[in-house]
């Protein structure tokens, strides 16, 4: 087992460095003149704008920016639509190796205090600047980055850049106004960044083409960096982009005779760099992520600690159980030979009740079926991510893969739920299969639909179109539900799980339990250790979800997932053994809740992250944040609870099958 894990992890690390090209991710050659194998036009796409101070993203055309024909927008996969990504063509014209000093994007935008419609557009711009909404541009499938120095002297390259800044009374180094504090320093004033300086770095000589008998060298784009600025252009016909006077938008409503004119401009500079290869062009973004070195050290430290604790738990369990089994078997042979034997005690006393079906067995079997579905979805998705299929460059692929796998794994959910329910002696197979196919997907879809209504009301880009909702329902009822019925059919046809000992007709009375062997303290303690092996990774996962940072360490995430499985299993087995020794045989639900309680600590951590890391203040964004958090916590509860249950089921069957029972 350990060799297999090591080989899988080594494969993840290797493929992360030497990944083959995926469809749509192959290198693109650009040249000064169009040829058969290269092109001169460089397309710049704009994505939705989002903010760390608000969960609600907006499309590019929500703000009064320069627009172009959006009918040629690239197609989006299911994952991009669910995450609110809306990639649209931009009016910016870029040609390979053609510099621009001060080009106009579109005609002048004019706002007048006499026009109510103009005031609404200005208010939308003010709101976007106030909440620090950021542009997300894409060139050659690469994010346009905004690089700036940090307090520790390192440079951080963000995959978005601000649409403006709002100067209150002071500024910090992370504020947008810190780009030039000598210019953007007027209190209670909005500064709109209507000019961008683009620096495009390319690798020359990637390919050579012959066009009409002439040799044309081509190149591949390595990076695109942007520096946003605010310029109050005086001459709209021939603008001067060296003008240092910023464009100010007053915080109050315009006077009836007051007017503001906005001209959007840009400059382009191409720079050759032959030292960086095209395959390594993402490195400067990933390496500049804050606390990268701390992340690697903390993850390794956490893995070592968790592995050590898991080994200690396993050693204690094996040593103690070995003595118990040897003592019980010795007592059994003494009885067979007619000798006096010591009175039995501990977990062997409850052998006639340990496999007694639990209360609410229908609900438990349904949750277990959904948990198995989530487990295999996570396992296969992480495996594909390690192989490089779900890299950050392949936008939306991770969510799309997870959704498709979840739908197709309905057969596993139906089979598991039916088999467990049949082993409990259940006969209402129709109710079982309907609940398995409807309960957990229904909870997730209901929460998602409620939040989608809010996005619709806010006019957000995260609002899933009606056609996509119909497609999701079609996947659910057209594929997942039938597959669940198929799995349940095979599960009910299979022989029920045979237990190694018989169950008595009369339940045994459970003695009074101490504080530590009661149900609630055991469940609360059971989630501590599994949560300890994921909370470091959880910080970076939440950053990728809410702070527009990229998550790319799928190799470590896969290893952490395996350790989470081991830790949940061993912790649940250990606590289950203690309860059986205390003659408490109600282990079915307790094993599920013990490891499933890790989700409660996940919820507490998400609340802590919301309070300490995010600057969300409005009620709508708060509701949306915790709505998505509840979906994540519920799925994690199913995942960890099912892991603990099946580990405990294997353990209980194992120990009662190796002892001699009258």
Quote the distance between the C-alpha of residue 261 and its chain's center. 41
Q: How many CA atoms lie within 13 A of 56 on its CB side?
A: 21
Structure-block tokens of residue 308: 């050590």
Distance CA(602)–CA(615), nearest Å, equals 20
pTM: 0.86
Q: Got the DSSP string for 356-377?
A: PPPTTHHHHHHHHHHHHHHHHH
For 154, other C-beta atoms within 10 Å of its C-beta total: 11
Residue with tokens 């007027």: 186
Neighbouring residues of 252: CB distance < 8 A, sequence distance ≥ 6: none
Residue 189 — pLDDT band, cuts 50, 70, 90? confident
Nearest to 540 by CA among 224, 193, 196, 290: 290
Mean pLDDT of 573-597: 87
- Is a pLDDT exceeding 70 seen at residue 440? yes
**Does the structure show a pLDDT above 90 at 434?**
yes
Half-sphere exposure at residue 500, Cβ-oriented, CA atoms within 13 angstroms: 17
Predicted confidence band of residue 215 (pLDDT cuts 50, 70, 90): low
SS3 for 484?
helix
What pLDDT is recorded for position 601? 95
Alpha helical stretches, state H, 582-618: 588-596, 598-612
What's the pLDDT score for residue 519? 76
Q: What is the pLDDT of residue 181?
A: 74
Q: Which of 103, 176, 183 is nearest to 146 (CA)?
A: 176
- Residues 159-183, mean pLDDT to the nearest whole number: 72
Q: List pLDDT tens digits, range 509-558.
A: 776 777 667 778 888 888 888 898 888 888 888 888 888 777 777 887 88
Contacts of residue 211, Cβ cutoff 8 Å, sequence gap at least 6 = 33, 35, 36
Rg for the chain, CA atoms, rounded: 30
User: If you average pLDDT over residues 337-356, what whole number do you get?
Assistant: 64
* Residue 271, SS3 per DSSP: strand
Beta 164-167 vs 189-192: how paired, if at all?
antiparallel
Contacts 24+ apart (CB under 8 A), 97-102: 97/32, 97/202, 97/219, 97/270, 98/32, 98/268, 98/270, 99/267, 99/268, 99/269, 99/270, 100/266, 100/267, 100/268, 101/241, 101/267, 102/239, 102/240, 102/241, 102/265, 102/267
Q: Of 344, 316, 391, which Cα lies nearest the Cα of 575?
A: 316
Is 464 a residue whose pLDDT tops 70? yes
Q: Is the pLDDT of residue 343 over 80?
A: no
The helix (H) or strand (E) run that includes residue 25 is none
Alpha helices per DSSP H over 462-587: 466-475, 481-493, 519-526, 528-532, 535-546, 554-581
How do beta strands 161-162 and 155-158 pair?
unpaired
Mean pLDDT of 334-345: 49
Say which residues have a Cβ less than 8 Å from residue 495's Cβ, sequence separation at least 6: none
Burial class of residue 342 (count of CB atoms within 10 Å of its CB; 0-12, 13-18, 19+): exposed
User: What H or E segment, with its residue span, contains residue 478?
Assistant: none
Is residue 121 within 8 Å of 64, Cβ to Cβ?
yes
């Amino acid at each position: 087992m350990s060799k297999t894990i090591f080989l899988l992890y080594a494969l993840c690390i290797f493929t992360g460095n030497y990944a083959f090209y995926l469809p749509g991710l192959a290198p693109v050659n650009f040249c000064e003149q169009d040829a058969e194998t290269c092109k001169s036009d460089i397309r710049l796409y704009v994505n939705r704008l989002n903010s760390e101070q608000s969960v609600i993203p907006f499309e590019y055309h929500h703000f009064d920016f320069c627009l172009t024909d959006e009918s040629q927008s690239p197609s989006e996969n299911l994952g991009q639509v669910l995450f609110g990504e809306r990639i649209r063509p931009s009016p910016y014209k870029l040609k390979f190796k053609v510099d621009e000093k001060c080009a106009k994007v579109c005609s002048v935008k004019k706002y007048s205090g006499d026009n109510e419609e103009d005031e609404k557009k200005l208010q939308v711009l003010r709101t976007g600047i106030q909440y620090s909404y950021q542009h997300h541009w894409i060139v050659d499938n690469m994010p346009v980055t905004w690089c700036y120095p940090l307090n520790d002297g390192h440079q951080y390259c963000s995959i978005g850049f601000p649409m403006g800044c709002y100067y209150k009374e002071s500024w910090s180094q992370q504020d947008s106004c810190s780009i030039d504090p000598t210019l953007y320093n007027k209190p209670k004033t909005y500064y709109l960044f209507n000019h961008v300086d683009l620096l495009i770095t390319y690798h020359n000589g990637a390919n050579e083409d012959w066009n009409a008998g002439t040799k044309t060298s081509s190149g591949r784009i390595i990076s695109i960096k942007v520096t946003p600025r605010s310029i109050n252009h005086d001459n709209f016909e021939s603008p001067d982009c060296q003008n240092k006077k910023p464009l100010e938008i007053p915080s109050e409503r315009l006077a009836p005779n007051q007017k503001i004119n906005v001209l959007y401009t840009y400059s382009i500079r191409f720079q050759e760099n032959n030292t960086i290869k095209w395959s390594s062009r993402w490195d400067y973004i990933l390496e500049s992520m804050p606390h990268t070195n701390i992340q690697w050290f903390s993850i390794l430290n956490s893995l070592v600690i968790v592995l050590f604790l898991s080994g200690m738990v396993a050693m204690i369990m094996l040593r103690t159980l070995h003595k118990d089994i040897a003592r019980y078997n010795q007592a059994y042979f003494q009885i067979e030979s007619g000798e006096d034997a010591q009175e039995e005690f501990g977990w062997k006393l409850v052998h006639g009740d340990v496999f007694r079906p639990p209360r609410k067995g229908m609900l438990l079997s349904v949750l277990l079926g959904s948990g198995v579905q989530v487990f295999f979805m996570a396992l296969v998705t992480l495996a594909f991510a390690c192989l490089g299929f779900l890299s950050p460059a392949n936008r939306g692929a991770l969510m799309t893969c997870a959704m498709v796998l979840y739908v197709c794994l309905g057969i596993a959910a139906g089979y598991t739920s039916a088999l467990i329910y049949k082993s409990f002696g259940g006969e209402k197979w129709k109710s079982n299969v309907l609940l398995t196919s409807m309960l957990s997907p229904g909870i997730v879809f209901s929460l998602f639909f409620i939040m989608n209504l809010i996005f619709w009301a806010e006019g957000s880009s995260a609002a899933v179109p009606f056609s996509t909702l119909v497609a999701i329902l079609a996947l659910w009822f057209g594929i997942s539900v039938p597959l669940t019925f198929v799995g349940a059919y095979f599960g009910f046809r299979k022989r029920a799980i045979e237990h190694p000992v018989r169950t008595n007709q009369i339940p045994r009375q459970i003695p009074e339990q101490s504080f530590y062997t009661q149900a609630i303290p055991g469940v609360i303690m059971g989630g501590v250790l599994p949560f300890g092996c994921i909370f470091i990774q959880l910080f970076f996962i939440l950053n990728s979800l809410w702070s527009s940072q990229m998550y790319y360490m799928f190799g470590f995430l896969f290893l952490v997932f395996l350790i989470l499985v081991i830790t949940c299993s061993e912790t649940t087995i250990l606590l289950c053994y203690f309860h059986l020794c205390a003659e408490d045989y109600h282990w079915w639900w307790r094993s599920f809740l013990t490891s499933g309680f890790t989700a409660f600590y996940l919820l507490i951590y998400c609340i802590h992250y919301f309070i300490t890391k995010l600057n969300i203040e409005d009620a709508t964004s708060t509701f949306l944040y915790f709505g998505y958090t509840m979906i994540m916590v519920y799925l994690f509860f199913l995942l960890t609870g099912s892991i603990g249950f099946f580990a405990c089921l294997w353990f209980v069957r194992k120990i009662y099958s190796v002892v001699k029972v009258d």
